[in-house]
Amino acid sequence: MATLPRQRRSAQHAQLHAAPYNRTRELNIVFASVGCTDSRVVDELLPRITHLLDVSVKALLDKAFRGQDFIQASSSCLTMPNATRQSAIRDVAEIEQEAAELCEWAHLLVLAPLDANNLARMLHGHTDNLVLEIIRSWNVSKKILLLPGMSSPMWENPMTKKQLTKIRRKWNWVQVLQPMLWTFVDERKKVISWEAADELVDAISNQVDLMNIGAGLDVAPSQKSILPHGTRRPGTFLPPELWTMILDFTNDWELAQTLHIYTNLPPPEAWTSHMKSKGPLGYMEELELTLLRGDLADVKHFVAQRSVPRWLSKLSVKLIMRFAMTDLLAHLEANHKDLFWAAFGHAFLPVKASAVFGRTEILEFWRTSPSFLTKEYDAEALDGASRAGFVNVLEWWQHSGLPLKFTESALEQASGQGHVQVLEWWKAQSTAVDDTNASVDSSKVRLKPGKSICYATQNGHADVVRWWVQSGIAFPHEDTVPKLASTHGHVEVLRTWHELKGSKMIFDNQVLVGATKSGTVEVLEWWKQSGLKVEYKTCDVEEALEDGHEGERGMEVRRWWARNGLNLGVGTSEWMKTKVLNS
């Protein structure tokens, strides 16, 4: 009998499923260019950035740019000049407000280029213009890409090295790229190192990839997420052929590759290029294959033989997170700090480990890492874990000693996905919403039900609807349940709601309208058989029939109404009169 070979990585939480509710997001970028008026900034660089997939850009340009440059830039995105502070109080207030709004909107600030003068003023906290005001107001949990711009003699001056060293050591939210250097020809600036623009576009594209890691994917909660702590599984001894059958059944090619199990599965689209007969194309594909099939020693050997990448690809980061390669994270943190911070800095690890991959090993690494003494995270971590059903992640946060940050989305998404075990977990951590007693346990949280009952109803989770009613937790929007269930065709939710509410069930004549428009005869028949007094107006039903389904579903609804007394050939008064179904 053969054991599972090279089980060097934990495979729990590894099964991936498509999640249509988890879509890509746009990266909001503020692009600022100060100190260089080369027309290529607006003619070439800015359009390249705005044409990237999943980005939204707003541009701030040096006031020294020509009017036609502003017109050209405006054809790519919203563009405004880098306003300077004037003596008028109104001007100052406008700059401060504009900066605050841009900082709130943006996920990424791109300074391309930032000249030596503004670089120095940035380091001293000056706010003489709109760009400096934004830098001074920037939320340091979000990244800044800095492309220094200056003359070649300035770049070689020791002061530049001193300033950039300070940024690298103290301003870890700023990623410094290769400079844009210029010289002077015929009393005009001439850029001599435009290659820096290519690196900038690649860096922005990488940021888009990092933000959207996990979009379109959901990691199914494994048995581990609901087992009590300390549960051990016995060692498993199975023949290789059976492991192949298991991995084929899971449809998980990546897992088979990382565990070195033969599989009949074809490689996913992201891996087809790597697996061609001629082998992987280029450095990054080779690194990705090494991460997939190798261990830490293999990766260290690869980097030593080749070079250290400036950043990691989306696929590389996904592998590290999915298979919880904490030993590799520790190696990068200790030996390649810039690369580590570029890929995993700020709130990336806690949010993605919680909301996308369900890996408490990554969370524990983050909690104990010296690089993250300031714990940067937001409600997306717990909200996302609740949506995904990761009770193990929620339990980790409970025992971490860190504040539980969450919004209404936590319970709404858990309800919409049918995760009763998540709702039970939140209930166990909660105190009554209206409990103002001073003796209430400070470790308890006040729940935020939001529109949870609506999400559960719309998605047809009758068990969740029952849970909310029986939980003892007050929640709003009860009156929407019958209408939503009728519109979306969920008869079981209607049965459950009627069972729980009885004569106190609140609804109006829109329940029949919604079912008619959506073409669900089963719902119409349920209302008929319910014994409830259900009202309708002929005018509303006629409009619903016109707006509803065509084809066979539409004909079934029309036949149902014909059998149940609908007459469209009546006068206006009768047409608008309220009637009762079955009367």
Report, as ranges of residue numbers, the positions in the chain whose pLDDT lies below 70. Answer: 1-23, 87-90, 216-236, 432-443, 583
pLDDT the model gives residue 14: 38
- Per DSSP, the residues of 349-405 read HHHHIIIII--HHHHHHHHH-GGGSS----THHHHHHHHHT-HHHHHHHHHHTS---
Nearest C-alpha neighbor of 456 from the set 470, 466, 448, 447: 466
The string of pLDDT tens digits covering residues 129-168 is 999 999 999 999 899 999 999 999 999 999 999 999 999 9
The CA angle 397-401-402, to the nearest 5 degrees, is 65
pLDDT the model gives residue 90: 55
Structure tokens at 287: 């690194």
Q: Print the SS3 string covering 56-122.
A: EEEEEECCCCCHHHHHHHHCCCEEEECCECCCCHHHHHHHHHHHHHHHHHCCEEEEEEEEHHHHHHH
Nearest C-alpha neighbor of 96 from the set 108, 86, 106: 86
Question: Do 389 and 226 touch, CB atoms closer than 8 A?
Answer: no
Question: Do 99 and 130 touch, CB atoms closer than 8 A?
Answer: yes
Residues 6+ apart with CB under 8 A from 60: 30, 31, 32, 33, 34, 79, 80, 81, 82, 130, 131, 134
34 beta partners: 114
What does the alpha-carbon distance between residue 356 and residue 213 come to, in Å, rounded to a whole number? 8
* Number of C-beta neighbours around residue 15 at 10 A: 15
Residues 6+ apart with CB under 8 A from 108: 27, 28, 29, 30, 142, 143, 144, 145, 204, 207
Phi, psi of 152, deg, nearest 5? -60, -45
pLDDT the model gives residue 225: 41
Nearest C-alpha neighbor of 256 from the set 266, 241, 244: 244
Answer whether 0.85 is exceeded by the pTM.
no
What does the alpha-carbon distance between residue 530 and residue 511 come to, in Å, rounded to a whole number? 13
* Number of C-beta neighbours around residue 335 at 10 A: 12
Q: How far is CA 412 from CA 177, 426, 460, 491, 501, in A?
A: 41, 12, 14, 21, 21
Per DSSP, 3 falls in state: B
What does the alpha-carbon distance between residue 97 and residue 94 come to, in Å, rounded to a whole number? 5
Nearest C-alpha neighbor of 502 from the set 463, 525, 483, 530: 530
Structure tokens at 126: 């000056």
Nearest C-alpha neighbor of 327 from the set 291, 376, 355: 291
Per DSSP, 569 falls in state: S
Residues 6+ apart with CB under 8 A from 552: none
Per DSSP, 45 falls in state: I
176 beta partners: 146
pLDDT the model gives residue 528: 95
pLDDT the model gives residue 191: 87
Question: Do 213 and 318 touch, CB atoms closer than 8 A?
Answer: yes
Structure tokens at 82: 């880098």
What does the alpha-carbon distance between residue 253 and residue 267 come to, in Å, rounded to a whole number? 6
What does the alpha-carbon distance between residue 147 and residue 71 come to, in Å, rounded to a whole number? 24
Burial 429-462 (b: 16+ CB within 10 A, else e): bbbeeeeeeeeeeeeebebbbbbbbbbbbbbbbb
* Number of C-beta neighbours around residue 266 at 10 A: 10
Q: How far is CA 322 from CA 43, 147, 217, 275, 338, in A?
A: 40, 32, 12, 21, 22
CA 402 to chain centre: 22
Q: Is the peptide bond before 482 cis (omega within 30 degrees of 0)?
A: no
